[in-house]
Structures are given as C-alpha cells and as structure tokens.
Structure 1
C-alpha cells in the first residue's frame, strides 16, 4: 500500500514539473514583452548604451518572477489534477482504500517551499532590483535625445544652438542649406549663421565639429543696456564650429544616493519607519491634548482693568445683550466687540492648530498603511502558491481535463479575480477603508476556504447542500 501511495505521489509530482516550468517561462516572456511595449519609447532615440538597457530589463525581471510563479502554480495544478482525474486514477486510488488527500501532500509541500523562496526573494532581492530599476528609469528620463538632424526640422538638442537644414546626406555626413541659430552666452553673441554646405566630423565621443562652406553670419553684439541694436554682417568661405556633446552622453547615477520608497525597501526597514511614524502620531495626540483653549476669566482679565469695568452710570440700552456673563459686564459696545473679535481670533487659531494636528495624524496613518500593505504583500502573494494548490486541485479533478486550453481558461478567470481583489484591496487599505491585513489577505482566505471545502467534498463525498437542508 505504501509503495502504491509513493508511486502515485511521484507520478502526480512529475505531472506538475513540466507544466509549471512551461507556464512560468511563457508568463515571464509575456510579461517581458509587455514591459518592452510599455517602455520602448523611453529607450529608443536617446543613445542609451546596450548594457544599460540589458541591466534595466534584468532588474525588472524580479517583479515578473514574483507575479509569474503563483500563476504558473495554478495552471500546472489544474493540468496535473485534470489529467489525474481524466485517466481515472482518482477512482483507482479510492478503490485501493487510499485517501485522496494523501496524494496531494508532496505537491502541497512543494508549494510551501516555493512560497518560502518567494518570501525571501520578495524581501531581499526584489527591493534592491526595484531600487536600481527606478534609478535607471530616472536617468533615462533625464537623458537628452542623441544628435539626430532631420531635413526641414528644427533640432535644439545641443544647448545654445538650434539647427535647420534642407538636406542631409547620411552616407557622407554632409549637410545642405544650413541655418544655425546661436544663442548668446558669456563667450559668444547671439547670431544667425547660414551656409550652402557643411560637413559633420566627430573629433571624439564628446566633441563634434561642423565645417561650413560658403555662407554668411549675422551677429547681434550685446549693446550694454543701450536701446539701439547693433548688427554685424560678414561673409565667409569656410567656418568651423565645435560642439560639446558631453551633455548628450548617458550618465548612470549611483542608486544609493536616491531616496527609497515603500517598494524599494525590505520588511525590516519598513517596520522601523512604521514604528517611528506611530511615535510621531502619539506626539501629535499629546500636542493636541496639551494645546487647550482657555475661556477668558472676567475675574482675572477684567476686574482690575478700568477700561472694562461697568460703571453705574452706563446706560444699559447702549450695550449688546448677549446673555454671556463676561460680555454683559463690559461698559460699552466697543469693548464687547473687541472681546468678541479677540475670542473669535483665538478660537480660529485653536481650530487651525487642531486641524493641522489632525492632518498630520491622517498623513502618517496613511503612510503606515502604505508600508504595512507592502509588508503583507510580501507574504500574501507568495502564499497564493498554496492557495492555488488548495483551489486548483479540486477544480482540476472536477473538470477531468488535463489539457492546456481548459487550464488556461479557468486560470484566466481565477487570476482576474485574484489581481482585481489585490489591486482593490491595496487601494482600499491606502485610503483607510480596510486594514492592510484584510486588503491583502481577503482573496487568500476566501479562496483557501473554498478550496478546502471542495477537497472535503471530493475526499468524503459529503454533500453540503444536504447538510444545509437538514439543518
């Protein structure tokens, strides 16, 4: 009996390995193609070194691994258990007196191993990869386009100059019908340079020389603040201008000099920040509690101030009847209005202080939730490997189909619900509608429960509908 169980377990485990590797590599390829399609416009036309593009792709493979592994587990589980049921192996082991749950044990253990590896990967590898990728994206976004002249189009990629040419010969680097607008600087005056022909020659990786033939130049020298404009015109047979292309060269910055976000930090670092934010919230509450508003005391403020003492000769009809003890004991309307204005100003200041404290507390609370969401995500997404075994095994058995098409369709439906719940849960947690725990773990808990109920039904032939009808 034990040999039969081991044989079935090994056979079922082997049925998982092939589909898992195939689905994992396929999903990685699809995610990589999606990444390239989304960002190809940021990479082309900027003379970015190939090594930098490869590094950018390599660093972005990290998040693809975290997403692709659980999805591959689901597809492989549906295919393996679908084939297991299609070949009537489940009926055979039941007839042999073997409990169906025993055959799932090796697969479940393997999913726990994958889950543990993904948790480590998400905490130690993924943040660093995200940080380097983010730094490279910033460097690429700041990179200027390369020197690329096109006929009848203005080009201003080089600081201080704007080019306009009628014709470009890419084979000889010759230009025809050249108009060059030179901006003023500390070393040169504003000028408009025209030439019938020109030749581009690269002196080095950072220097480019333009040789002009048969042209003219109009200079506009600085007039030193005078109202009149001076124009200098001259003709030339040959003229040379050298451009510094150092600004166009890609420069890779040090990622360690950039600030880290929640997705570029590990769990330990985020917990430290969460703890400091909680302490700041406590300080804000203490500050708000200590900053209380004190109502003016007539005995203290007005009893010994002749300006506010109410003489017996004051006519009562000249005063405002407020029903307030302090205000009704003042001697005239001006004093009453002054008191009202001062009290209103004090209350407005007190209100502003409380609103500022409430705003600070709300900001820090949202920040705490954002970090806690990322912490829970590092566990909930890897744990989906276990969830998809619990859910995929009974669904695969019930479909009795082990082909890729059926598994892909069912996986697409389940994964759509999974990613929608994950995205919406993150948004609701960030907006404080739900806790980070429920935002990240709702799908895992619900679908694990469904999977466990289906496994119980398949292994014991219990009908839950009968149980509910009896009750």
Structure 2
C-alpha cells in the first residue's frame, strides 16, 4: 500500500471515531431528555440505567453511522484540500479516484458490517431494549414523604408527616389514614416519631412508630343508619410497627417472548416468514367475507307472485315505475324491513372484516418496511460518504466550522426525505420499497455530480468566482442599457426653407 493511501486512511479514521462518539453522545442526551420523566424518582439502580443506555447506543448506530460517515469524510478531504495535499497528490500523477480507493474499501467494510449488525444484532438489541423500557415506564415512583403533604402512593393509605430527618429515615408527627376497607378513613393512627426501613426482600416497608395512639371505628360496612351504640376503640402505644406492601414499587422484568413478534425484533428470515403468514391470514379473511354474506343476497320472489293464478300467462304485465311497485302492497312493509335488516347485517360484517383487514394490512406494510431497512442502512453509509468526500475536496475547508454546517444541511435533507417517504409508506400511499429507498434515489444523482466536479477541480463553492461572474453580468447589463439610452436621445428639429422665408418677410 502506498504512503498516500496510509495518509488518507489515517486522516479519515481519526475524525470518524471522534465524530461518531460526539454524535452518539448527542443522540443519547436526546433519548434521556425524551424519557427523563420515566427515569427520575423511581429509585433505579445504576446498572439498570447503564444497561438501558447501552441498548440505546446500539439502537442509535443506525443514525450515528451515516452522519459520522458524512461529517468525517467532509472534514478529511477538507483538511487535505486546505493544506494543499490534494494538489500535491494530483501533481504526483495520482487521480482523486485512485487516492480514494482504500477509503472505498474501508467504507464498504463498514457498510457490510452495518448490514450484518442490522440483521443479526439489532433485532436482539431492540427486543431487550423494548422489554426493559416497558418495565421502566410502568414502574411506579418511589415512596417519598414530603413534610406537610399527604402521600397517597401506597394503595389504601394516606400518610402525612410534619417533618423528617436529613436522611429521610425518621419522620416526625405522623398521621396515617387507613381506608383499605372502605372509601372513608375509619382507622386513624397518630405518632410523634416513626423510623422507616425495608424488609430483606425489599417487598415490604416497615414503619416503626413510637409514642402514639390509634383510633378505630368498628361500624359495620353496610350500615346505612348511624348507631349511637356503635363501638369506638382507642389504643395507646409506646412502640409498634406498621407494615406496607411495596411490591408494586419494585421493577419486575417482563418476559421477552411477549415482544418477539414485533417487526423491529425480527431479522430478514423471520420477516419473510411473518410476511408470508400474514399474507395467508389476509387471503383467508377476504375469502370468508363472501361466504358470510352470500346467503343474504337474494330477490324477494315470494312477494311479487300474482294473487290470481287463473290470469293468463299471455296477458301483458303492467309496467312498474320502480322495483317496490312489483311487490304487492300488503307485503311491501315486510319486504322493506327484511331488506333493511339484511343490509344492516351485511354492513356490520363488512365493517368488522374491514377493521381486521386493515390490521393485517398495517402489519404487512411494517414487515416490508423493516425488511427494506436492513439494506438501506448499509447503502446510506456508502451514499453519504460519496457525497461527503467530493464535497470536502471542493470546499477545501477543514476543522469543525464550515464542514459541520454543510454536513448537517445535507444530512437534514437526507433525513427529511427518508422520514417523509417512510411515513407515506406506513400510511399506504406509496409502496414500502419506494418509501425506504426514496432518499437514496433522490441523492444519488447529487453524489455523482459532486464526484464529477471534484475530479475536474471545479470551484463549485468558491464565493470569489461567483462574485466575479456576477460583476461581469452586471457590467454587461449596464453596457446594454447605456447603448439603448444613446439610441433613444431626441435631436432638435432642423428649420425648413419655408420657415426661413417667413422670417425674412
């Protein structure tokens, strides 16, 4: 391998690693901002948050890889162009295409790895990520006492403390309402001090109370009339324990098999299998529609038989203005009611089948979209590199200034086109293939155009060149306007011989 190839590879790998981790950090921060309400105040262990971020990092590779590929390629060739190293390479008789050949091989390996990752690793990561995120979101917030405010998070209890210690373990001037048996608080407990600690299995919270009193109203639950002789109990205690069931506050891991049939948790082979199975269900559903409604499509032949069977068959039948006139007047109401009932039944059957068919059709669309997504991730890395490399060679600016701005603009164009087309495909407006490949087909001519301009040393983004061309155009316009003004100047009329003769007379 030539030294030029090693130089270009080293110049590309360093910015790629840096930009990849920067983009990954930004995407993880966006994820945390999105689910911050589901994470704060629930008492998760540090390894649960770390596991969630690890899964999310793997999921975000599908967006971080193309963006870092575009950004690093622009920065690499921008730095080479700014330091005139590309000029030296071309002066040595090596074309830009030959100099970029090792990078094409490296990016091809990255794209192949991205395809294998999206087919084998990403479905497993999506499965574990989806199950963990579901458990995180449904977990209740931790039991937290704020001084002077009733806490109702524990089912069946309302707890208030006027104060608490700095570590939150000791509560002062406690008031506990027990309304598990009914909506009203029949049992009230007051204590001057309480100490909180958990059981060894963390499923029970124990509140050790000191110097308090407990009031119990033993009224019958279904008593509708107030009884003056009902029993009212009061207990004084120096120390007692109140236990609360905290199993609802513990995070329980859901079985991952419940999420395995989701389209994001399937690889290519499984997607093809589920697509075929879904197609068979759609065909079976559509075939049952005709069978269920066939018996309700018939003519009311019994309603328009002639009353008098002795009428000659050769007698001409009266011409009816509408179908209802064919039916005898004494049977018209029955016929109309029967027809309306049949129409309602057919309509209900069609509505039910249409909803079921729409469900299977949406599943089919999502399976096909996910099938195409496995390939578009790899191709998008190649496409954005083919846009970024010649773009950096043209603008000839390195660093994190102009290259970052240009890279973000082109990535936003790609992302907007792909998002809009994918949404249209999910809604069934376009085919899933065109919805997932639309951005690649639209930007491929741009990549070819930029590669041609970079190979021909075109100053496509040279502002000075455009300024000189604009000045030339303005000068030409001014010159043309000046010629027209000279041609339109009016000269004073010359005197005729008749006017001279009149003046002399």
* Cα shift at 1:17: 0.5
Q: What secondary structure is seen at the aligned counterpart in 1 of 2:401?
A: helix
Residue 275 of structure 1 pairs with residue 245 of structure 2: no
Residue 296 of structure 1 pairs with residue 299 of structure 2: yes
CA distance in 2: counterparts of 1:278 and 1:402, whole angstroms: 52
* Cα shift at 1:129: 1.4
Q: Deviations over 1:219-256 (max 9, x none)?
A: 12251533335451314142413314344333333323
Q: What secondary structure is seen at the aligned counterpart in 2 of 1:404?
A: coil
Counterpart residue number, 1:160: 156
Deviates more, 1:124-133 or 1:197-206: 197-206
CA distance in 1: counterparts of 2:285 and 2:252, whole angstroms: 43
* Cα shift at 1:78: 0.4
Contact 2:208-2:241 within 8 A present in 1 as well: yes
Given candidates 307, 322, 333, the residue that maps to 1:310 is 307
Contact 1:127-1:264 within 8 A present in 2 as well: yes
Q: What secondary structure is seen at the aligned counterpart in 2 of 1:132?
A: helix
Given candidates 383, 403, 412, the residue that maps to 1:407 is 403
Contact 2:391-2:454 within 8 A present in 1 as well: no
CA distance in 2: counterparts of 1:250 and 1:312, whole angstroms: 82
Given candidates 207, 223, 226, the residue that maps to 1:226 is 223
Contact 1:218-1:231 within 8 A present in 2 as well: no
* Unmatched 5+ stretches in structure 1: 315-319, 465-471
Deviates more, 1:372-381 or 1:172-181: 172-181
CA distance in 1: counterparts of 2:26 and 2:91, whole angstroms: 43
Counterpart residue number, 1:383: 379
The 3 A distance-change label for structure 1 pair 288 and 69 is same
* Cα shift at 1:365: 2.1
Computed over aligned residues only, the root mean square deviation of the Cα atoms, in angstroms, reads: 3.0
CA distance in 2: counterparts of 1:345 and 1:83, whole angstroms: 78
CA distance in 2: counterparts of 1:321 and 1:240, whole angstroms: 97
CA distance in 2: counterparts of 1:259 and 1:190, whole angstroms: 48
The 3 A distance-change label for structure 1 pair 329 and 312 is farther
* Structure 1 residues 220-369: aligned runs within 5 Å: 220-223=217-220, 225-227=222-224, 228=226, 230-243=230-243, 244-258=245-259, 260-290=261-291, 291-292=293-294, 294-296=297-299, 298=301, 301=302, 309-311=306-308, 323-324=321-322, 327-331=324-328, 333-369=329-365
The 3 A distance-change label for structure 1 pair 60 and 232 is same
Given candidates 430, 439, 462, the residue that maps to 2:426 is 430
Counterpart residue number, 2:464: none
Counterpart residue number, 2:486: none
CA distance in 1: counterparts of 2:211 and 2:456, whole angstroms: 96
Q: Deviations over 1:117-154 (max 9, x none)?
A: 11111122122212212211222223222232221111
* Cα shift at 1:431: 0.5
* Cα shift at 1:372: 1.3
Counterpart residue number, 1:46: 42
Q: Deviations over 1:5-46 (max 9, x none)?
A: x33333222211010011011111222222223323322322
CA distance in 1: counterparts of 2:188 and 2:32, whole angstroms: 42
Bigger Rg, structure 1 or 2: 2
Contact 1:131-1:260 within 8 A present in 2 as well: no
Q: What secondary structure is seen at the aligned counterpart in 1 of 2:35?
A: helix
The 3 A distance-change label for structure 1 pair 155 and 322 is farther
CA distance in 2: counterparts of 1:249 and 1:357, whole angstroms: 42
* Cα shift at 1:166: 0.8
TM-score scaled by length of structure 1: 0.85
Deviates more, 1:289-298 or 1:114-123: 289-298
Residue 211 of structure 1 pairs with residue 212 of structure 2: no
The 3 A distance-change label for structure 1 pair 349 and 401 is same
* Unmatched 5+ stretches in structure 2: 312-317, 461-505
